[in-house]
Amino acid sequence: MVTKSPYTLLARSSECKARRGEVATAHGVFQTPVFMPVGTQATVKAVTVENLKDIGAGIILGNTYHLFVRPGHRLIKEFGGLHNFMNWDGSILTDSGGFQIFSLKELAKISEDGAAFRSHLDGSRLFLRPEDAIEVQQALGSDIMMCLDTCIPYPTTREETVKSTALTGRWAQRCRSVHTVRDQLLFGIVQGGMYPELRKESAETMVDIGFDGYAIGGLSVGESKEQMHDMTEATIPHLPDDYAVYLMGVGTPEDLVEGVWRGVDMFDCVMPTRNARNGTLFTSTGKLVIKNARYREDKKPVDSNCSCYTCRNYSRAYLRHLFVSREILAYHLNTIHNLHYYVSLMSSIREAIENDRYSSFRNDFYGRLESK
């Protein structure tokens, strides 16, 4: 199955590999570079789909593993797919379930055929083959599906990394073979651990198979920032320039700025939503821990430069009160703010690339952080 790339390049930085583009899916076109809020269990935690639209999110991520164990992909298919089930009409990317299965650690066992694991909910024995991962994602009806890959912990020996990366390649081929639903895109995942030459090899394997987009997996797993940047740089040159590049599970605002600099188009991370629920808020001048006593009587919004619903209407003192009182509204308002921060950051990044001033944008970004 050979398809036209869903990615369209719109502008390119003359200073670095940053690029401005868009990706067309069955549920519209989203602008890149993009950050995808994570909606693990058929909801982005603590917000509504209207909140996500207000914030400007064009695509969200769903977790195949979680939806597979509860409520089950067959049930979601009965409801016309994940979009209908959760009432989201923007684009959805689903991961393959691989990362979560590997996170179960002793509960998972990998063989050539697939991954044997136990449900984190009831301990029941489950088995996921690459073909199953595609079947499940086709049932979910996501716009972008991911191949089942093996996740390589950090650190791992070169020998183990070679083996595991090769298996990811064979699984990717099997995923590609059973991909039948044409309006669902399928992305391949490059592994290769912390070995540049294995990253290159893995990228070439994926390109040989041929996908609708390419992801860089196995990063943000404990390695240094430098290693993460090096592996990104070791991978992207071996991917076709006319396809989207997705850096999985990354990251901090700084990671996004650096990823874009190196040519990444798509990101996802639980950080903005999880931090929101822990009371850590992102601002243009750095992080703010809302429970701190210094905010007790603070009439200012979280970030005076922010135009989100939370900052337009609520003081730090009120948000602190809600958070220390463990009110559900705290998680809701904090999440709106943090997602708005991430989505707006990407919007500013896109504008900077369009105007070919990404280098100065990046300098200003770090300058503001240091001004705190």
Query: In this chain, which stretch among 170-178, 215-223, 316-324, 342-350 interacts with a second copy, using CB under 8 A?
Result: 316-324
Contact 145, 185 (CB under 8 A): yes
DSSP-based three-state secondary structure for 282: strand
Site for a second copy in 84-143 (CB under 8 A): 85-87
Query: In this chain, which stretch among 16-24, 242-250, 279-287, 292-300 interacts with a second copy, using CB under 8 A?
Result: 292-300
**Which of 321/368 has CB closer to a second copy?**
321
**Cα 262 to Cα 269: distance, rounded to the nearest angstrom:** 18
Interface with a second copy, residue 323, by CB under 8 A: no
What residues contact residue 296 under an 8 Å CB cut-off, 6+ apart? 317, 320
- Which of 107, 178, 191 is CA-nearest to residue 145? 178
**Which of 331/365 has CB closer to a second copy?**
331
Active site residues: 95, 268
The encoded tokens of residue 36 equal 């995808």
* Residue whose entry in the numeric block shows the structure tokens 């989201």: 88
- Which of 151, 145, 148, 273 is CA-nearest to residue 220? 151
One of 38, 46, 57, 145 touching a second copy (CB under 8 A) = 46
| Least CB distance to a second copy at residue 161 (A) | 35
Contact 275, 338 (CB under 8 A): yes
The site that binds a second copy (CB under 8 A) totals a number of residues, namely 32
Interface with a second copy, residue 291, by CB under 8 A: no
One of 31, 48, 173, 348 touching a second copy (CB under 8 A) = 48
Neighbouring C-beta atoms of residue 50, cutoff 10 Å: 9
Interface with a second copy, residue 270, by CB under 8 A: no
Interface with a second copy, residue 77, by CB under 8 A: no
| Least CB distance to a second copy at residue 339 (A) | 14
One of 104, 107, 116, 329 touching a second copy (CB under 8 A) = 329
**Which of 5/40 has CB closer to a second copy?**
40
**Cα 37 to Cα 293: distance, rounded to the nearest angstrom:** 30
Interface with a second copy, residue 280, by CB under 8 A: no
Query: In this chain, which stretch among 40-48, 172-180, 253-261, 279-287 interacts with a second copy, using CB under 8 A?
Result: 40-48
One of 31, 43, 173, 280 touching a second copy (CB under 8 A) = 43
DSSP class of residue 186?
E
Residue 30: its H or E element: strand 28-32
**Cα 239 to Cα 210: distance, rounded to the nearest angstrom:** 10
* Residue whose entry in the numeric block shows the structure tokens 């024995």: 125
**Cα 365 to Cα 283: distance, rounded to the nearest angstrom:** 11
One of 227, 315, 347, 348 touching a second copy (CB under 8 A) = 315
| Separation in Å, CA 159 to CA 152, 165, 192, 219, 222 | 12, 10, 11, 18, 19
The Cα angle at residue 63 between residues 59 and 65, in degrees rounded to 5: 160
Interface with a second copy, residue 71, by CB under 8 A: yes
**Cα 240 to Cα 247: distance, rounded to the nearest angstrom:** 15
| Least CB distance to a second copy at residue 275 (A) | 15
One of 113, 242, 254, 327 touching a second copy (CB under 8 A) = 327
| Least CB distance to a second copy at residue 300 (A) | 12
Query: In this chain, which stretch among 27-35, 83-91, 130-138, 278-286 interacts with a second copy, using CB under 8 A?
Result: 83-91
- Which of 100, 99, 42 is CA-nearest to residue 75? 42
Interface with a second copy, residue 318, by CB under 8 A: yes
Residues that bind a second copy (CB under 8 A): 41-43, 45-48, 70-71, 75, 78-79, 85-87, 296-297, 299, 313-315, 317-318, 321-322, 324-325, 327-329, 331-332
